């Protein structure tokens, strides 16, 4: 089971701290600066994720907007290069052997092939850009029949 440092999202000083589980019932008080409707109508990924995600892709990469109503964990995984920015809230990542916490306006980079785990605090929003245009495949839209 994935875990995260106990001081995650508390405003406590950055650092590993002691490890503990994220309480799954923690809810965001509100989602400030929600994404505009043209982003919220982008395709969702055909993947099991605890985040609300919106995809836009082209031949050279994939852009994913994400937001978390509740604390969310993205278990350890690997893929090509990834660059991201936190738009609001807090994101903690373990990239290889290093763990860091990122707040609004801070960026991170995950080199391709490096195992990483991500914890996203309730109420957080961000944007990730993936080297692989097919990192996530859009879910099929329901038929209008």
pLDDT(41) > 70: yes
- Which tokens sit at 68? 């978390």
Domains of the chain with CATH codes: 36-130 (2.60.120.10)
CB contact at 8 A, 87 and 126:
yes
Give residue-wise pLDDT tens across range 87-124: 999 999 999 999 999 999 999 999 999 999 999 999 99
Find the Cα–Cα–Cα–Cα dihedral 105, 130, 47, 93, rounded to 10°.
-50
Rounded to whole angstroms, how far apart are CA atoms 127 and 139?
19
User: What is the structure's pLDDT at 7?
Assistant: 53
3-state secondary structure 28-56: CCCCCCCCCHHHHCCCCECCCCCCEEEEE
- Which tokens sit at 46? 């055909």
User: What is the structure's pLDDT at 141?
Assistant: 67
**Quick check: pTM over 0.85?**
no
pLDDT(19) > 70: no
């Amino acid at each position: 089971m994935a875990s995260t440092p106990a001081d995650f999202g508390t405003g406590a000083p950055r650092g590993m701290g002691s490890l503990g589980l994220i309480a799954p019932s923690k809810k965001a008080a509100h989602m400030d600066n929600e994404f505009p409707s043209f982003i919220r109508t982008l395709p969702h990924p055909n993947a099991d994720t605890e985040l609300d995600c919106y995809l836009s892709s082209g031949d050279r990469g994939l852009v994913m907007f994400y937001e978390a109503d509740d604390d969310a964990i993205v278990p350890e995984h690997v893929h090509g290069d990834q660059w991201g920015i936190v738009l609001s809230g807090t994101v903690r990542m373990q990239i290889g052997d290093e763990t860091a916490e990122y707040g609004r306006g801070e960026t991170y980079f995950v080199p391709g092939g490096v195992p990483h785990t991500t914890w996203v605090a309730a109420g957080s929003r961000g944007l990730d850009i993936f080297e692989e245009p097919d990192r996530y495949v859009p879910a099929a839209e329901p038929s209008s029949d």
